[in-house]
Amino acid sequence: MAGNLRHFLKLRDLAPAEARALLDRAIALKRDPQTNRRPLTGRNLAMVFAKSSTRTRVSFEVGMAKLGGHAVMLPTAQTQLGREEPLADTARVLSRYCDAIMIRNDSQADQEELARHAGVPVINGLSESHHPCQLLADMQTWLEHRGDPGGKVAAWIGDGNNVCNSWIEASALFGFRLRVATPHQYRPDAAALAYAGRAVRLYDDPRAAAAGADLIVTDTFTSMGREAERAERIQILSAFQVDARTMAAAKADALFMHCLPAHRGEEVTAEVIDGPHSVVWDEAENRMWAQMALLEFLLCPAATSSPSPFA
């Protein structure tokens, strides 16, 4: 195994300067796709999916193609992982064919197990507790629309889920304050909160969290794997719906973000997600540019140096 092997299982796997350089590179790639000279020609990405995906799958597959490489789709049910081949053995085998492994599954611990036995970088494409690739895209989107997030205020309103945990890590990494409004049953991960420290404050009242915020963000009330709890969750979380009154409490030019897929009428009203504050389509697009920068960073760091467009 290479001594300098890097994985991306949580946002905090990046140092603040690395994260910022990666976003600058993502923006440079988006502005001028010719800057990328296909640095991943001949390289291959294994994409292991134990859960559904639209954005993550397509953005990684097309991103690899744009960089000159190739992606192999591996739905776990169609692999021997689905028949209980150990993760460690799968990691060893995929590392003999591929240059990186992206995995979307339930268990962060399983991703860490995969990474321990892989000879190539492992990327978290979503687990039950983190969604770091989403946050690269979200931070790129915030930077593009409003400049450096440093010193600004974001409010997460809804379920304290995997995306929320990665937002919490982002607050420490990018230097903004995050208010997290959730019902007490659905608080975020204690380890992510401990990592972020004073950057994050918990709220019971969503309107108080939104007051004067630069950005409002939410996600589904029912994450993948929690479908059996859907009715109970909608009942408990309904007071945390992001609606026009939530946006009116925030700054006049506040952004609205959502990782998608969205459920209009549940966590957000159609008026907000389809309205003037919403940047959700830019977020979705930026999944691809940010992950292209991540793949370059992990597989050929020399390609990533781009002057900051915001310098």
The footprint of ligand NVA (CB under 6 A) covers 126, 161-163, 219-220, 223-224, 259
CA dist., res. 175 & res. 149, Å (int): 7
Q: Which of 219, 233, 241, 258 is catalytic?
A: 219
104 is catalytic: yes
Select the span of 53-61, 89-97, 185-193, 249-257 touching ligand CP (CB under 6 A).
53-61
56 binds ligand CP (CB under 6 A): yes
Q: Which of 55, 117, 177, 287 is catalytic?
A: 287
Q: Which of 5, 32, 38, 54 binds ligand CP (CB under 6 A)?
A: 54
| Residue number, nearest CB to ligand CP | 56
Query: Measured from the CB atom, is 172 or 280 closer to ligand CP?
Result: 280
Select the span of 51-59, 91-99, 152-160, 274-282 touching ligand CP (CB under 6 A).
51-59
Q: Which of 111, 134, 140, 241 is catalytic?
A: 134
Select the span of 39-47, 49-57, 170-178, 290-298 touching ligand CP (CB under 6 A).
49-57
Q: Which of 36, 53, 111, 124 binds ligand CP (CB under 6 A)?
A: 53
Residues that bind ligand CP (CB under 6 A): 53-56, 126, 134, 259-260
Q: Which residues are catalytic?
A: 104, 131, 134, 219, 259, 287
